[in-house]
Amino acid sequence: MFNLTNVLRPYAWGSPTAISTLLGRTPSGGPEAELWLGAHPDSPSLATAPDGSTKSLDALIADDPDGMLGADARTEFGDRLPFLAKILAASQPLSLQVHPTLAQAKDAFAREEAAGIPRAAADRNYKDDNHKPELILALTNFDALCGFRPATQSRAVFKHLSDLFEQVEEAFPQLLRDVISDLSAAEGSEADESAAIRAAFQRLITGGNEVTDAVSAVVTALNASRAAQPTHTAYLRELSTVISLNGIYPGDPGVLLSLLLNRVSLKPGEAIYLPAGNIHAYLQGLGVEVMASSDNVLRGGLTPKHVDVPELMKTVEFRALPVPRITAGSTELGQEIWQPPFREFQLQRAILEPDRPPIPLAQNGPLLVLAVTGSVILDSPRGDLVLAHGDSAFVPARESPVNAHPVSGASGAAVVYAVTVPAPAPN
Ligand SMILES: [Zn+2]
């Protein structure tokens, strides 16, 4: 087993304290947005062997793929760690974004490589050739925008805005009248609804200055209406989101696009999963995020970064969907497992009570482990590894099975999160 030293990504939206508080570390002093646990070539973890030697996790796997990943994972995913785990701490919204399918990522990555676009270029869309299905488990209250809601609901919010404009005697922008008529075409089949959502989305993302002006008019009207009627609470959460997004990205198309999306509030322990094509934005909160090992993101707003509208329109799935919540199943041995409908990963949480039998961690091939509360002993047939609060480890396939238990004399429960590939389907 290998101790890991993980890379911290200091994106501007990151909380300066949430990750260090969770892991018992000294804050860096700047924003701490994401801690990456994995072998993605852009920020691989550094693995320390029991003899003290170190190697980056991607190199360690490349040197002994069979021992590290196991034959099944190699056959299915090739010689790379199939998943990437992150602790994500947002004090401001992340960009509105969508991730490609596997086929699309393979094609588009090859195309950008062939065109010679440098990987770090601002207009480069595809960082690798993989898809990026993801899951986020909230550790604090966690807010997000996630997938399209039914067009009738979005239409009702825009109609409500038009009423507010009337009350404060402002002219309702023509662009937003057109959005209402786009969404009105949703009556009928699912295909009609998808076409209506696509039309409204396209109008808002390609509207240029007209959109900037509409965002500004909406925020002015909302503020005037709130001043006149402070107790007015219809669509409070959606409209408060519009105002707070505009405070950070004034005039950005994402401010109004947010009204087309499900507005989700997760409590600690609740999770959602996001397949390819699901447009989403995390707004604030601390969570454990797991994904296929990829950094392929197409942005649609709420960002100063490159937005490639044609590529985005090809990637977004324009379909109203319920919020893709996922609950954990519990094993007989006491851990909870979140298993989204993806091949690359599952997430488990084991709560290790003192004086209780050890919990055998679910492991299919490679395993990442992170101790977030208390100290933990990982006990494998090839030796033990102690993880202090905040420490993490990579357990090679060949060192399975691992039992986890708190250090002796621990006063309270220890908590570990662990990521592995899903169990093979029963025959
Ligand atoms: Zn995402």
pLDDT given at position 20 = 97
Which residues are within 8 A (CB) of 24 and not within 5 positions of it... i.e. 6 or more apart? Answer: 389, 390
CA 332 to ligand 1 centroid distance, Å: 32
Query: Does one domain contain both 13 and 107?
Result: yes
Q: What is the mean pLDDT of residues 138-157?
A: 97
Same domain, 338 and 219: no
Residues 128 and 22 in one domain: yes
Residue 353 Cα to ligand 1 midpoint, Å, equals 34
User: Both 8 and 81 in a single domain?
Assistant: yes
Using the predicted structure, report yes or no on whether residue 105 has a pLDDT greater than 70: yes
What global pTM score does this model have? 0.95
- The one-letter amino acid code at 85 reads A
pLDDT (0 to 100) of residue 151: 95
In a domain, 132, yes or no: yes
The percent of residues in the chain predicted with pLDDT above 70, rounded, is 100
Dist. CA 134 → ligand 1 center (Å): 7
Of the residues 322, 346, 369, the one at which a domain ends: 322
List the catalytic residues.
299
CA torsion angle 160 152 251 34 (round to 10): 120
Query: Are 337 and 311 members of one domain?
Result: no
Distances (CA, A) of 19 to 16, 26, 90: 8, 10, 10
Cα gap 186→175, rounded to integer Å: 18
Total number of domains constituting the chain: 3
Residues 28 and 94 reside in one and the same domain: yes
Give DSSP secondary structure letters for 43-83.
Answer: SPPEEE-TTS-EEEHHHHHHH-HHHHH-HHHHHHH-SS-SE
Distance 284 CA to ligand 1 centre (A): 14
Distance CA 320, CA 115 (A): 35
Please check whether residue 209 is in contact with residue 252, taking contact to mean a CB–CB distance below 8 angstroms.
Answer: no
Q: Is 278 helix (H, G, I), strand (E, B) or coil?
A: coil
Note whether 73 and 202 are same-domain residues.
Answer: no
The verdict on residue 426 lying in a domain is: no
Distance from residue 272's CA to the centre of ligand 1 (Å): 11
The pairing of strands 2-5 and 392-395 is antiparallel
Report d(CA 16, CA 411) in Å as an integer. 29
What's the confidence (pLDDT) of residue 233? 79
In 117-249, DSSP assigns E strands to 134-138, 142-148
pLDDT at 426: 65
Residues 138 and 278 in one domain: yes
Residue 186 has pLDDT above 90, yes or no: no
Domain of 362, CATH number, reads 2.60.120.10
Q: Does residue 243 sit in the same domain as residue 274?
A: no
Report the pLDDT value the prediction gives residue 75, as an integer from 0 to 100.
94
Q: Helix or strand or coil: residue 208?
A: coil
Residue 427, in any domain of the structure: no
Do residues 225 and 277 both lie within one domain?
no
Domain of residue 169 covers 149-260
